[in-house]
A and B are shown apart, each in its own frame.
Chain A
Amino acid sequence: MNSNWALMGNLRDNIIRGTQDVHMTEDDRAAMRERLVAYMEYMPITRPTLGRRARGSWVSFGAFFRAHHIAGALMIALLFTTSTVGVSSAAAAAALPGDLLYPVKIHLNEGVRTVFMSSEEAKLTWERERAEKRLEEAGQLAAEGRFDAKAQEEVARRFAEHTEKVVEKVQRVEATDPVLAAEVSGEFEEALDTHEVMLARLAEEHAVDTESGEAAHKLVAQVHSAAAQAEGIRVAAEEKIAFEDIEVAVAAEPLVGAEHASSNDDSVTTAVSVGPQQHEGGTPKTESANMHVRAAYRAQERAMTQFNRAQTLLDTIEDDSPLYTPARAQVARGNERMAAGEQALSEHKLGHAYTAYRDAAGRFQKVAELLEAADLFTVGIGGEEAPSSVNSLEEVQQDEKEVPQELPNGMLGGGSHDDAQEPLSDIRTRVRSAVADARQQLLGFEGYDLSVTEEVNALIRDAAAELLRADIYRVLGDELEERAQLVAADEYSSRALGKLAKAIEQGSVSEIVIEDVGGAEEPDQPDGGVEENGTLPKPAENADAADPQSGVSVMHTVRGDMHTVSGTYYQATTSCQTVDAVLTLLDASSTELALELSTGEDTTQCVDEMVWFEATTTATTSAVFTSLSVDGVSTFWEKLTPAQSETVVDEEKTQSSLFRRTFDGARKMLGVE
């Protein structure tokens, strides 16, 4: 045993010495760490409900991240998760075309995800999912009777964008991996088929007028043609896999046939690792045999996965549901095809096995997707009357949202309470003004204890978060939920005011005289104030707490000679504003870009925290973004220095740099300096 230990040490040493040269570069490692930190911030460990969250922990979490010096384009994720008070990404995820938060969902929630993907397959799948998401949203709008020409345009445009990317990526993949291409396009095709059916049905049941009916039919036609396109790609990819030839060859000479593949480890690995062998016909036989084995096995795996998915859903519906019988029949038919696949596989008929499995997988997928969609929209496949969409949406949201559990008045209890219900608009107005008051008191006085500042800040943030949610529910027409969120917001804002009143009463606090609140120019602030500090305060957090004016976060994206500047205009005040953005060239040589924002009153819709804007112009590729003005006044702000800001260059040669406005005064208030 002793000698064994020594020997093992020796073997270990050798292996360690032999492998120690393999490591990540410092840069890779640092970049990975930074992405991870950004991801952590993007997906923070949340406490079960806002109501129960320990106030201090959020703040210290922020401090933790500041200490870890996050930067980079991913900062954009942070800006949004924090500037919209920690829930924007979740809130935005529920936004639909036409909603104010929808652009946040499209550009940030979904955009951020792609940053974490580097493999082609992951990107492809994600693009496919995005295309399907757009259709789900359309379905949701249709179910609510909100799918009009404008929504149709938006959905159609985005769906076309995603589909185009899917097609482009699949075609690229097809050159090297027809198996994957066939699989992805096949799945896409099935999903689109299902959506087509669902959309047509939803439109029929819920169209409120001829306009919305027409809009839905346009989309249905678009989905139909996309499905046909996907089918075309799948067929082409399958032709490339060319099963017919190999069935004979494999049967005659089962080099890496199915049976082989599952038996002896050594031999198979060797068979796979040898180079292509020349067939009589001159084709690389081993390679294509491997491809067939892979195609068949992957189809089998996919069929099993989809079977489980369908079966799980099937288990959740009642026997007497009108969906039950047709869904079961489809699953049974799928099972027959699975059995046919098994049979074919055992006979080395890989082509037949593949076809059978693919067919089975398609059937299961369809059942699963129909059941999921039916659950979402409460639509019967059998043709019976659908319950009102409001009910079904409530159910959907019930699963997703955090329900504050300590709400006063038992608002979620089903309305059996005797309290006379205050009109929603009254509560909204009251809460808004309470939040504004609290902000004003926090901003207008100095000398608060740091813990009071943080605590009140957190309360205001929570109140604003609940307000934001309430707005979303209002857009969705869900009064019960809107009320619940407003009541929670009410409670948070009252508590914030209470704390402030107490602090002021204790006398350590005095009023600050702020000159010219309306002006945006801050000429006496030194450039690079943030760099001096060495850390990056979270602008949104500070803005929330102390910036008496507005803040802007901007991302500059270059694709070829197209420059896009997009971002948010954050409003610390409670009045609602619209923001128009114009991007212009500062000089004749097209090297400097200027963004002009102009604000106006918005009387229609208001999510009173931030407004998304986007402006585009053409300029030379190397043009830089140098100035920003709001309502004709240049504002003090900075571009993140290269050390802090990562320029992301993706495969489409898109360059993104992040800019943000600084909040120097705010940092002073918070005692960051």
Chain B
Amino acid sequence: MNQEETFLAAFDEYADSLYRHAYFRVSDAEKAKDLVSETFTKTWDYLVKGKTVDDFRPFLYRALNRLIIDEYRKKKVDSLDALLDDSNVPTGVFSELVEGSLEELELALDARRVPELLELMPESYREVVLMRYMDGLLPAEIATVVGEPVNNVSVRIHRGVQWLADYVKKREI
């Protein structure tokens, strides 16, 4: 396959999941479409410059993620700060943290409520939880997408899951 074909194959394979990801990040169908479209044109621009992409999936997610962050930057300074501020993420033994409180979620999480919960979830968690569970990226892949150490990513995923668990629990009481 030549580059054009490979690129279009990547579109066919990932456009939908990128759209879904964007949709839950920005909560706006039109905006999500724009972002996906731009993700692909930006990626194409990159190829036009004579560069190559070995694995499109993380690359596309990285491009999309940057665009989403730009979007936040335009709209909500506050969330951006929250998003970028990871000074309060403890460095610890993250293997203990990863996917820790799943038990609590197992029974409680109702698929029908997932969109609503995602909407409420703080952006810094939502970003990684979506990538991990909806898009099925591995923590190491997510780390390259967001440009953070794997450790931080794992902590954020853990906290996201914890947040879900807490939220569901609180709502049930």
Contacts and interface: CB of A to CB of B under 8 A. Distances in A.
Interface string A413-448: 000000000000000000000000000000000000
A18 B30 contact: no
B109 A11 contact: yes
A40 B105 contact: no
A620 interface: no
A24 B19 contact: yes
A7 B15 contact: no
Interface in B136-154: 136
A7 B105 CA distance: 9
Contacts of B15: 24, 29, 32-33
Interface string A253-288: 000100011111110110111000000000000000
A39 B118 CA distance: 34
Contacts of A322: none
A46 B41 contact: no
Given A12-B136, A24-B19, A64-B2, A33 B85 contact: no
Contacts of B99: 4, 7-8, 11
Contacts of B4: 40, 45, 61, 64
B102 A11 contact: yes
Interface string B26-51: 00001101101100110011011010
B19 A268 contact: no
B16 A29 contact: yes
A10 B41 contact: no
Nearest to A57: B2
B59 to A, nearest CB: 16
A14 B109 contact: yes
B13 interface: no
B78 A293 contact: yes
B58 to A, nearest CB: 19
Contacts of A271: 78
A177 B5 CA distance: 41
B73 A272 contact: no
B56 interface: no
Contacts of A16: 133-134
A172 to B, nearest CB: 17
Contacts of A48: 50
Given A11-B161, A36-B44, A116-B37, A265 B102 contact: no
Contact of A265 (B11, B20, B124): B124
A46 to B, nearest CB: 7
A268 B85 CA distance: 12
Contact of A269 (B78, B113, B129, B133): B78
A37 B8 contact: yes
B14 to A, nearest CB: 12
B111 A17 contact: yes
Contacts of A4: 99, 102
B102 A19 contact: no
Contact of A10 (B79, B106, B113): B106
A8 B109 contact: no
Interface residues of A, number: 58
Interface size class of B (residues with CB under 8 A): 35 or more
A15 B134 contact: yes
Nearest to B83: A265
A68 B8 contact: yes
A269 B79 contact: yes
B5 A272 contact: no
A11 B133 contact: yes
Given A7-B103, A45-B47, A290-B78, A19 B24 contact: yes
Contacts of A499: none
Nearest to B87: A263
A8 B106 CA distance: 9
Interface centre among A7, A44, A180, A301 (most CB of B within 10 A): A7
A263 B16 CA distance: 34
Contacts of B41: 36, 39, 116
Contacts, number: 157
A67 to B, nearest CB: 10
Contacts of B74: 121, 180, 298
A349 interface: no
B37 A261 contact: no
A35 interface: yes
B94 interface: no
B122 A266 contact: yes
A517 interface: no
A2 interface: no
A36 to B, nearest CB: 5
B122 A269 contact: yes
Interface string A85-103: 0000000000000000000
Interface in B110-131: 110-115, 118, 120, 122-124, 129
B102 A297 contact: no
Contacts of B12: 33
Contact of A118 (B23, B34, B115): B34
Interface in B74-107: 74, 76-79, 81-83, 85, 88, 99, 102-103, 105-106
A19 B114 contact: yes
A23 interface: yes
Interface string A54-89: 000000110010001000000000000000000000
A180 B74 CA distance: 9
Contacts of A180: 74
A24 B33 contact: yes
Nearest to B7: A40
B114 A14 contact: yes
A261 B77 CA distance: 7
B130 to A, nearest CB: 8
B7 A269 contact: no
A272 B78 contact: yes
Contact of B105 (A11, A28, A45, A264): A11
A13 B109 CA distance: 10
Contact of B40 (A15, A36, A301): A36
Given A10-B102, A116-B41, A268-B82, A19 B115 contact: yes
B23 A22 contact: yes
A294 interface: yes
A37 B15 CA distance: 14
A210 B40 CA distance: 51
A512 interface: no
Contacts of B134: 15-16, 19
Nearest to A61: B4
A28 B18 CA distance: 14
Given A8-B102, A293-B78, A15 B85 contact: no
Contacts of B114: 14-15, 17-19
Contacts of B113: 18
A298 B73 CA distance: 8
A60 to B, nearest CB: 8
Nearest to A20: B20
B81 A22 contact: no
Q: Which 4 A-B pairs have the closest CB atoms?
A: A18-B114, A265-B82, A7-B102, A17-B111
22 contacts: A7-B105, A11-B161, A12-B133, A16-B133, A19-B24, A23-B16, A23-B19, A23-B20, A24-B33, A32-B15, A32-B37, A36-B8, A43-B45, A48-B50, A61-B4, A116-B37, A263-B81, A265-B83, A268-B81, A269-B123, A290-B78, A293-B77
Given A265-B122, A269-B122, A298-B77, 17 more contacts: A7-B102, A14-B114, A16-B133, A29-B16, A33-B8, A36-B37, A36-B41, A45-B47, A60-B2, A260-B78, A265-B82, A268-B79, A268-B81, A268-B82, A269-B123, A294-B77, A298-B74
